Amino acid sequence: MNEETQQNLPIDYPSALARIGNDESFLKELLELYLTDFEAKHTDLKTAIEVMDFTSIQELGHSLKGSSANLSLTFLQEASFEMELAGRDRDIDKAKKAHLALQQEFESLKTHLAAKN
C-alpha cells in the first residue's frame, strides 16, 4: 500500500498495530468495541446538541477523541476534537457541523471495515 492510499484510510494501521503489539485479531476486537461505544456516545451527543448541553458536548467530544486516537482513527479523532472545542466555546453551529463530520467519518469507517472483511 502506498503512502497516499494509506493517508486516505480511516485508520492508520501501522500506528494502531504498533500500540497493541501488532496483534491483528486484537485490533479487530478493539474496533468492534469502538463501534459499539461510538453508537452509544453518538446518541448522547445528539441529545446534548438538541438541548444545547455544552458541558456534555465537550465531554463526549473529548471522550470520542481519546478512543479514536487510541486506534489511530485520524479523521474521527479530528472531528471529535472539533466537537470538544464546540462544547468548550459554547458554539452550537460548530457542534452541528462537527456532528455531521463525525457521522460521515463513522460511516466511512464502517464501509471500510465491511469491505475489508
By CB under 8 A, name the binding residues for other proteins.
18-21, 23, 26, 30, 33-34, 37, 62-63, 65-67, 69-72
Residue by residue, DSSP assigns 67-84 as HHHHTT-HHHHHHHHHHH
Residue whose CB is less far from other proteins, 68 or 95: 68
Residue whose CB is less far from other proteins, 71 or 86: 71
Residue whose CB is less far from other proteins, 18 or 52: 18
The least CB distance from residue 98 to other proteins, in Å, is: 17
The Cα 22–Cα 36 span in angstroms is 23
Beta carbons of 46 and 99 less than 8 angstroms apart: yes
At 50, list the grid cell.
Answer: 438538541
The least CB distance from residue 16 to other proteins, in Å, is: 9
At 89, list the grid cell.
Answer: 466555546
The least CB distance from residue 23 to other proteins, in Å, is: 8
The least CB distance from residue 104 to other proteins, in Å, is: 21
The Cα 11–Cα 109 span in angstroms is 8
The Cα 54–Cα 42 span in angstroms is 15
Residue whose CB is less far from other proteins, 40 or 100: 40
